[in-house]
Amino acid sequence: MPPARVGLAAALVLVALALQVTMLARLQLPGATPDLLLVTVVALALAHGPAFGLVTGFCAGLASDLVPPADHAVGRWAFALTVVGYLAGLAKPEIRRSAFVPLIVVSLAAAASVLLYAALGALMGDPHVTWLALSEVLPTAVLYDVVLSPFVVPGVFVLADRAEPDPVLRH
């Protein structure tokens, strides 16, 4: 992987994680919290493909698992964001077709990440994972992430193109 791509991804993930923990987690919104880290991973996966999305998702998820105030088993977010990053990266060829493709991918990724995180929690016996909690968190998580994505995804695409222009997207 080119150093410019890795450096940009690391910087974006660190900024997203810092904003997630210091600002977004403190918002008193009903249901879930907007997940800037997830939207950033999805945007990087859409910009660079599934392999890059997989690695970025794992690193971002592991960082999220380790940064306080994490109150869950290490690896839950890492697994969820790894799967989501890979699957989002598979949609890279489709982003040229419509401006709505990133919104659809973000909505599917938000739903998948919540469901994967909850499923892992249920397997590990997490008492906070209930159908009621999932039914309250899932719709708002998807909604907040879709609302956040028009502000994040285009900016990540611009930065990714400046750091390393994609010859396929140029034509």
Domain definitions of the chain by residue range: 3-164
pTM, rounded to two decimals: 0.92
User: CA-based Rg of the chain, rounded to a whole angstrom?
Assistant: 15
* Model pLDDT for residues 22-53, shown as the tens digit of each residue: 999 888 899 899 999 999 999 999 999 999 99
Spell out the alpha helix ranges (H) of the chain: 3-22, 36-48, 50-66, 76-89, 101-123, 131-163, 167-170
Looking at every residue in the chain, the average pLDDT score rounds to: 91
Q: Which of 106-110, 127-131, 133-137, 140-144 has the lowest mean pLDDT?
A: 127-131
Angstrom distance (rounded) from CA 24 to CA 39: 13
Q: Among positive and negative, which fits the CA dihedral 11, 95, 151, 68?
A: negative
Out of 3.20.80.10, 1.10.1760.20, 3.40.630.10, 1.20.1250.20, select the CATH number for domain 3-164: 1.10.1760.20
Residues with Cβ within 8 Å of 90's Cβ and at least 6 positions away in sequence, in order, are 50
Burial (CB count <10 Å: 0-12, 13-18, 19+), residue 43: buried
